[in-house]
A and B are shown apart, each in its own frame.
Chain A
Amino acid sequence: MNSDAGIRELRRRAKLRLLRMHYESNVGHIGGNLSVLDIMLTLHHQVLRADVDEFILSKGHAAGAWYVTLWSLGLLSEEDLVRFHKDGTRLAGHPPARGIPAVSFATGSLGHGLSLAAGLALAKRVKSESGRVFCVTSDGEWNEGSTWEALIFVAHQRLRNLVVFVDVNGLQGFGTTREVANLEPLAAKLETFDIVVREIDGHDPDAISEAVREDGSAGRPIFILAKTCKGCGVSFLEHRMDSHYLPMNEAQYRQAVDDVTRS
């Protein structure tokens, strides 16, 4: 993914494949997958070094975005994606405990991933291993007490090899993040811990790549609040609560494909 044209084509191709996978399997959770897809693609194609870096998807309900990203890297096959969410699949609705080498932990119950990433980062330090650990959380899962336990831990342990994204799409299970349990200003709250906090546009690959830089972090973990759009790129899904749950019907799928193709 070295050129702007290449990036655009990758994003378009992955988004179309994601929509088709969810449509053919009649699966919802599309909004949160579309909000995080650009982060996933950029991290895996431009940032992560396969031999040393590790990745945890804490917002496990965005498994589809991860599967399509792995497909775009040749780590999952077309046949795998066709089997998504079906009996006998490797690709469950949330990342599985076994069966996919790139997936080191089953996630889906929110509030676990940041601690898992912390443990991987700590293990690297204990073992004097190079590389970094990347973790993507949702914004809703900052309601979970365990996520704050993990924040306290990573700041106290000064896990400098840890990079955490928060997919700030502003919508959670049954309302906006402001309506349900308002944490704003989240950046200001996080900044009170001994960590680096950066705010970016979560759909800008250049901003994503730039935000993970180690310089300026002074040996502290990096937290990136990535402002995103739930349902990004699909007109009838953008910023809509029902995009968290509902699968698309045929007309909606055609509309979604048309939206992405025109973008």
Chain B
Amino acid sequence: MRSAFSRALLAYADRKDFVFLTGDLGFKALEELRDAMGERFINAGVAEQNMVSVAAALARKGLRAWTYSIAPFMYARPFEQIRNDVCLHDLPVIFVGNGGGYGYGVMGATHHAIEDYGALLTLARMRVLVPAFDMDVEPMVRQCFSAEHPTYLRLGLSEEPKNYVVPAYAAWRKLLSGPGATVVVVGPLVGGILSALRGVEPTPSLWLIGELPVENLPEEFLEDLERSGRLIVVEEHVAAGSAGQQLAHRLLELGKPPRQFQHRTALGYVSGLYGSQKFHRAESGLDPAAIAALVTTGGR
């Protein structure tokens, strides 16, 4: 998604109110943007706390301030700066975290971000955007340029199935229709899950969420859920603060709890060993085969 991200930003490079700050990352991805933006592209160095506070002040002065780093360095290291300097003042700073979830794979746990949006959504007015496909990035970037609140953009690696026509971006999208379980996914892992669920009988309905906090539940989703009575939420994020928890909370508020609720989340480091993103997903039961089996068997 970094290439799609860079391409999308290039369209805005001439905007005089656009300032891009990177925490010394972007090699082989952001060079063209850097060259196009000139002095408004700032490598703030390996100093994320300062970068975020600087961005807050830029936003205070009416500039469109973007900050960029590997996801854990974007939200965890400068968390107090995000809280105090950005969110207390409701400034529309954009935080771009590359490699959400287990995206950095065998680079190790320090480079993973499996609690990023849950932590950030504890902060006032924070919005989170999670593209699932490369095609989602451009509309999300456009959305960021008109954001009125702090916004976290969690980039990953697009995993769209071959020859799949990605439906136009929306906060909620329905990727499969069927009488089976109602499955909700957040993020790029939906690509593999979509492929796996295509052969499952009865066909589940598959929904993809791209924006958090969870809100504005579509009527069609509620109808699907009422019919199936079974909700399965899958996300590459720990349970605490997750989209699944938010969705369950919202359904309780609406008086429409599902009869059965199953939540597949990032479980951390189950075996204590390290590997690719695929390895860690499998350890957490987030791999497509495990999700297909869950949907088929109804197991817990």
Contact = CB atoms under 8 A, between A and B. Distances in A.
A118 interface: yes
Chain B interface, DSSP helix/strand/loop, else mixed: helix
17 contacts: A97-B89, A106-B84, A106-B89, A112-B80, A115-B50, A115-B81, A119-B53, A119-B55, A120-B60, A126-B63, A146-B50, A146-B53, A149-B49, A150-B50, A150-B53, A152-B45, A152-B47
B88 interface: yes
A105 B50 contact: no
A146 B49 CA distance: 6
A145 B57 contact: no
A263 to B, nearest CB: 37
Contact of A120 (B19, B45, B61, B88): B61
B61 A116 contact: no
B171 interface: no
B58 interface: yes
A123 interface: yes
B278 to A, nearest CB: 36
Given A116-B57, A157-B42, 6 more contacts: A115-B49, A118-B50, A118-B57, A126-B19, A152-B50, A153-B50
A112 B81 CA distance: 7
Size range of the chain A interface in the assembly: 20 to 34
Contacts of B58: 119, 122-123, 126
Contacts of A149: 45, 47, 49-50
B40 interface: yes
B54 interface: yes
Contact of B85 (A112, A123, A126, A157): A112
Nearest to B81: A112
Interface string A168-190: 00000000000000000000000
B56 interface: yes
Contacts of A111: 49
A193 B167 CA distance: 53
Nearest to A106: B88
Interface of B: 16, 19, 39-40, 42, 44-45, 47, 49-50, 52-58, 60-63, 80-81, 84-85, 88-89
A153 B45 contact: yes
A36 B16 CA distance: 38
Contact of A123 (B57, B81, B89): B57
A155 B60 CA distance: 22
A109 interface: yes
Interface of A: 97-98, 104-106, 109, 111-112, 115-120, 122-124, 126-127, 145-146, 149-150, 152-153, 156-157
B47 A118 contact: no
A195 to B, nearest CB: 15
A148 B213 CA distance: 35
Contacts of B45: 149, 152-153, 156
Nearest to B44: A153
A111 B53 CA distance: 10
A55 B40 CA distance: 23
A129 B54 CA distance: 17
B49 A145 contact: yes
A56 to B, nearest CB: 8
B53 A126 contact: no
Contacts of B54: 115-116, 118-119, 122, 153
A105 B63 contact: no
Nearest to B57: A119
Contacts of A126: 16, 19, 39-40, 58, 63
A202 B214 CA distance: 53
Nearest to B55: A119
A124 B58 CA distance: 9
B3 to A, nearest CB: 27
Contacts of A156: 45
B57 A105 contact: yes
A112 B84 contact: yes
Given A105-B60, A146-B50, A116 B19 contact: no
B61 A115 contact: no
A73 to B, nearest CB: 21
A124 B81 CA distance: 21
A97 B81 contact: no
Nearest to B49: A146
A10 to B, nearest CB: 30
